């Protein structure tokens, strides 16, 4: 049970990449005062939490209504997470979190809390996919589902802390430090993604 909690925490922490939010937050809130930045990042964290909670509760039901089986979603979700991991490893901007066009539009917006900070930087496709995959792994065990909720809460709190302290973080570890941490997390995410793919294959072969 404890192993499942750490698996959920590692998966969510790596796909969201809270440390990587520091330079993004600085760029998007460069013209804001300290108090305005605090308001923006707090609202972004709250919006992301609501979106994650909705997908955590109703995500499986949505895909069941569409006729998507758990093995199929494990394979597709694992592949998506693996692509995110590859982008993290090679220091590329991941289209699964934010496209180039979205980044351009974000710079023109006055309120950046909902878009792009909350969605898709925190509660992006990779995050929502991970939540649903973890729920599939937990099955009907509500104690395991509770651990997913705790892991998600820890990750979101970490995002909020990083965004609030983004200026101090970048001054202390620099862009190079953030890049190194992101690539280490990319390696961990690649391993988690591969496990999701293997689980999907194993379940598909068993059902067949």
List, as one string, the DSSP characters of 104-165.
HHHHH-S--IIIIIIIIIISSHHHHHHHHHHHHHHTT-HHHHHHHHHHHHHHHHHHHHHHHT
Share the mean pLDDT of the chain: 85
Domain that holds residue 124: 2-207
Average pLDDT over residues 12-36: 86
Residue 17 near residue 124 (C-beta atoms within 8 A): no
67 secondary structure, DSSP code: T
Looking at per-residue confidence, does 37 or 104 come out higher? 37
| pLDDT at residue 187 tops 90 | no
**In the structure, what pLDDT confidence band is assigned to residue 57 with cuts at 50, 70 and 90?**
very high
Average pLDDT over residues 102-117: 68
| pLDDT at residue 149 tops 90 | yes
pLDDT at 112: 86
Ramachandran region, residue 161 (left: φ > 0; alpha: ψ -120 to 50; beta: rest): alpha
pLDDT at 53: 96
pLDDT at 46: 97
Looking at per-residue confidence, does 105 or 114 come out higher? 114
Residue 192 near residue 81 (C-beta atoms within 8 A): yes
Rg (CA), the chain: 17
| pLDDT at residue 185 tops 70 | yes
| pLDDT tens figures, 121-142 | 899 888 998 999 999 889 889 9
| pLDDT at residue 21 tops 60 | yes
| pLDDT tens figures, 152-178 | 999 999 999 999 998 888 788 887 887
Q: How far is C-alpha 157 from the geometric centre of its chain's CA atoms?
A: 13
Report the percentage of the chain scoring pLDDT > 70.
90
By CB atoms closer than 10 A (0-12, 13-18, 19+), residue 100 is exposed
Average pLDDT over residues 114-125: 87
Question: How many domains are there within the chain?
Answer: 1
Looking at per-residue confidence, does 53 or 72 come out higher? 53
């Amino acid at each position: 049970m404890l192993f499942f909690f750490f698996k959920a925490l590692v998966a969510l922490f790596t796909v969201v990449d809270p440390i990587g939010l520091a330079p993004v937050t600085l760029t998007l809130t460069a013209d804001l005062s300290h108090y305005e930045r605090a308001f923006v990042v707090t609202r972004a964290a709250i919006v992301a939490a609501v979106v994650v909670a909705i997908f955590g509760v109703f995500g499986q039901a949505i895909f069941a209504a569409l006729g998507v089986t758990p093995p199929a979603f494990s394979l597709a979700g694992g592949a998506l997470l693996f692509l995110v991991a590859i982008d993290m490893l090679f220091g590329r901007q991941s289209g699964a979190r934010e496209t180039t066009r979205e980044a351009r539009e974000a710079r023109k917006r006055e309120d950046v809390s909902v878009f792009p900070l909350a969605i898709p930087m925190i509660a992006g496709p990779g995050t929502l996919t991970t939540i649903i995959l973890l729920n599939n792994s937990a099955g009907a065990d509500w104690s395991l589902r509770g651990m997913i909720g705790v892991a998600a809460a820890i990750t979101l709190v970490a995002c909020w802390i990083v965004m609030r302290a983004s200026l101090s973080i970048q001054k202390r570890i620099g862009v190079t430090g953030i890049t190194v941490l992101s690539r280490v997390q990319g390696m961990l995410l690649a391993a988690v993604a591969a496990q999701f793919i293997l689980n999907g294959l194993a379940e598909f072969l068993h059902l067949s």
